[in-house]
Amino acid sequence: MYSKDGVNYFVLDGHCHFWDASPGNWVAGAERYAKGWIECFHAYQGLGPPDTHWPLGKFQKYSEETMIHDLFEVGYVDQAIFQPTYLKEWYVNGFNTLEADGALADKYPGRFIPNGRWDPREGKAGLEQLERDAARWNLKGVKLYTAEWRQGSRGWTLKDAEAVPFFEKCQELGIKNIHVHKGPTIWPLDKDAFDVADVDHAATNFPDLNFIVEHVGLPRIEDFCWMATQEPNVYAGLSVVLGGLMHARPHFFAKVMGELLFYLGEDKLLFGSDYAIWEPRWQVEQFAAWDYPDDSEFSDYPRLSVAGRKKILGLNAARLYDIDVPAHLRAGAGERTPAPGDGAALAG
């Protein structure tokens, strides 16, 4: 919980990882990719405040104790959602797996929500694995990584026919939250494989699923906003927006937040720290105090209320994941602030 100016915030960090990118986990023959990937991640950390930067060795493989401290002891986080990324072409045991995440969720009950994953290129075996994972971890969400390499393939899209049985299986299993990485690329993945152009296709075909676009499609913010405003089941995951822009690019951050508030409204934006690229503490503190610069350029954007900050920092994700938030941490009745035109009406 975070408290500021007499207001208590329930903080649900919607985008966390527990990874192992240490040299001992690099696949033989793919070392340059494994090394390049984590070094690119590490470079992104430089966009946060200088006192939060880690040495590369710690960043490659941090301890369980470090994570618990950074999230729950000093980071104000009440609960965190793990978003796995396997990358087994480069990492022997995977980069950040459901198995590793789930072990921590078991050890710290009530703290972590482990999400699963699937890849349509795995076919029947992938569907069977998704069923086993859902039964073992009571999955409420999955993380999809459309640019991941696999056996010579350098990505897939949500439009692919092979993806349809997996979306149908999610509906069958009650996995309603589909988190899709659609944002900045990480070397050596292909930038175009993270394009948002396939999201509305899947969102329209599967209206009972929630599509959380992680990193809001950056750098394609306009494409994302115009698409998301017409799709009632598309949400914006703010990891990278906060960690990558709020400190290093405050003027651009104000523009991105303004666009998101204008097109989507504060009910469809979800906080995520993207730990361990960035720690949650400074992001929560700065966002709770954030306002637009004193500049007429931002005068046509919606203002962000205290209630809106509460929703973004935790209440919106809690709604999607059916989390019962203590009464004193909820937003007051009637505090919903829709986007102008309330979604699809604006596009019309």
Residue 329 lies in a domain: no
Beta strands 116-117 and 112-114, pairing class: unpaired
Residue 190 lies in a domain: yes
φ/ψ (deg, to 5) at 285: -60, -50
Residue 241 lies in a domain: yes
Residue 337 lies in a domain: no
Residue 338 lies in a domain: no
Domain housing 140: 11-322
Residue 258 lies in a domain: yes
* Residue 271 and residue 238 in contact, taking contact as beta carbons nearer than 8 Å: yes
Residues 6+ apart with CB under 8 A from 165: 120, 127
Number of structural domains found in the chain: 1
Distance CA 331, CA 9 (A): 9
Distance CA 48, CA 247 (A): 6
Please report, in tens digits, the pLDDT of each residue of the chain (348 residues total). 999 999 999 999 999 999 999 999 999 999 999 999 999 999 999 999 999 999 999 999 999 999 999 999 999 999 999 999 999 999 999 999 999 999 999 999 999 999 999 999 999 999 999 999 999 999 999 999 999 999 988 999 999 999 999 999 999 999 999 999 998 888 898 888 899 999 999 999 999 999 999 999 999 999 999 999 999 999 999 999 999 999 999 999 999 999 999 999 999 999 999 999 999 999 999 999 999 998 788 999 999 999 999 999 999 999 999 999 988 888 764 444 444 444 333 333
CA-derived radius of gyration, the chain:
19
Residue 235 lies in a domain: yes
pTM of model > 0.75: yes
Residue 3 lies in a domain: no
- Say which CATH number the domain at 22 has: 3.20.20.140
